[in-house]
């Protein structure tokens, strides 16, 4: 079970949206921006993001900005609007008659409270968190006081009056954690606390790989702490990646048919046998890096 937490830490950095793996060996090469095209349909673009607030990752390449600006529709995993933020906050809370200190016991809760206090949460606030929500908070990289990359794209889309679409509901995205047993949630939380010093180092490696735009290296970095033999990790990764990729594919197809759509999802959704790049190819799309020598659309 401890290895499951080690595996999840690297994945959470790249996959958790506004607050939230590929275990196939398929190689996809280098690139975060991909042109998606079918004959007789205007092309669209798929962009791999990293869900953190880091100025380095928000300094986007001119080609990405160009394709974004020329798009008519923006699709994100979920739309990080005010309503979503409020719903996320509610979804992370225990029922009114349950308290995290009673679930965890004093030693573990006190240890957790010290870390959450550094992230700006008082014990009075943290006592209401679900165990999985506490795990997410402690694993989350420090914010620089601005928007995460996906939120930045969302606000750009709003200001440009783009059509907006969500590829998932918040309930769908969080169900993978809500459906865990309380025992599994507690174990993952405890192990996440144990591996917290390694999380920060791993996060930096992932950011550097992301800045190079190398999906293969992002994949390798995220797998550095993986245990292939852990059943819980495999089950969670199937829910976090494979099932979500299939769902997002089905929902982006109507937008791709219209064309001129910019789709932004976590970078780890792109590579692998069950990644979006491969799924789109199987659906009959040409998936290629964008070329400066062709017309934008």
Could you give the CA distance from residue 21 to residue 222 in angstroms, rounded to a whole number?
8
Residue 51 burial by Cβ neighbours in a 10 Å radius (0-12, 13-18, 19+): buried
pLDDT at 195: 81
**Cα 243 from chain centroid (whole Å):** 14
Each residue's pLDDT tens digit, 180-191:
999 989 988 887
For the chain, the average pLDDT equals: 84
User: Distance between CA 136 and CA 206 in Å, rounded?
Assistant: 17
Of residues 179 and 17, more confidence is placed in: 179
Return the DSSP state at 224: T
Look at residue 168 in the predicted model and tell me its pLDDT: 96
pLDDT for res 226: 47
pTM of the model: 0.86
Residue environment code for 192-211, b if the CB has 16+ CB neighbours within 10 A, otherwise e: bbebeeebeebbebbbebbe
Report the C-alpha gap between 107 and 104 in whole angstroms.
Answer: 8
pLDDT at residue 229 greater than cutoff 80: no
Q: Where are the domains of the chain?
A: 2-89+144-288
Q: In the numeric block, which tokens belong to residue 269?
A: 């959704």
Max Cα-Cα span within the chain: 63
Inform me whether the pLDDT recorded for 32 exceeds 90.
yes
Alpha-carbon distance of 125 to 247, in angstroms, equals: 34
Considering only 87-101, 134-148, 264-278, which range has the smallest mean pLDDT?
Answer: 134-148
**H/E run at residue 24:** none
Give pLDDT, residue 98: 97
The predicted structure's pLDDT at residue 25: 32
Instruction: Report how far residue 83's alpha carbon sits from residue 88's, in angstroms, rounded to the nearest whole number.
Output: 9
Q: Report pLDDT digits (tens) over 48-88.
A: 998 888 889 999 999 999 999 999 999 999 999 989 888 98
Q: For the chain, what percent of residues have pLDDT higher than 70?
A: 84
């Amino acid at each position: 079970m401890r290895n499951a937490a080690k595996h999840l830490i690297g994945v959470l950095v790249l996959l958790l949206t506004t607050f939230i793996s590929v275990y196939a060996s398929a190689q996809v090469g280098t690139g975060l921006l991909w042109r998606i095209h079918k004959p007789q349909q205007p092309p669209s673009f798929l962009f791999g993001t990293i869900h953190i607030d880091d100025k380095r990752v928000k300094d986007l390449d001119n080609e990405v900005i160009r394709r974004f600006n020329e798009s008519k529709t923006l699709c994100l995993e979920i739309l990080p609007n005010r309503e979503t933020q409020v719903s996320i906050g509610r979804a992370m809370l225990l029922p009114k008659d349950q308290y995290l200190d009673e679930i965890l016991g004093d030693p573990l809760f006190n240890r957790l409270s010290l870390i959450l206090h550094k992230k700006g949460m008082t014990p009075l606030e943290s006592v209401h968190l679900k165990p999985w929500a506490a795990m997410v908070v402690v694993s989350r990289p420090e914010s620089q006081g601005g928007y995460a990359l996906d939120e930045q794209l969302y606000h750009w889309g709003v200001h440009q009056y783009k059509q907006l679409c969500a590829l998932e509901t918040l309930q769908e995205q969080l169900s993978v954690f809500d459906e865990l047993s309380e025992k599994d949630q507690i174990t993952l939380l405890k192990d996440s606390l144990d591996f917290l010093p390694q999380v920060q180092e791993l996060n930096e490696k992932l950011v550097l790989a992301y800045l190079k735009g190398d999906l293969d290296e992002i994949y390798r970095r995220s797998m550095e702490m993986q245990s292939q033999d852990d059943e819980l990790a495999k089950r969670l990764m199937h829910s976090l990646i494979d099932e979500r990729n299939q769902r997002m594919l089905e929902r982006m197809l109507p937008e791709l048919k219209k064309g001129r759509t910019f789709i932004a999802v976590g970078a780890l959704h792109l590579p692998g046998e069950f990644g979006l790049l491969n799924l789109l190819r199987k659906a009959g799309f040409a998936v290629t890096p964008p070329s400066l020598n062709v017309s934008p659309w």
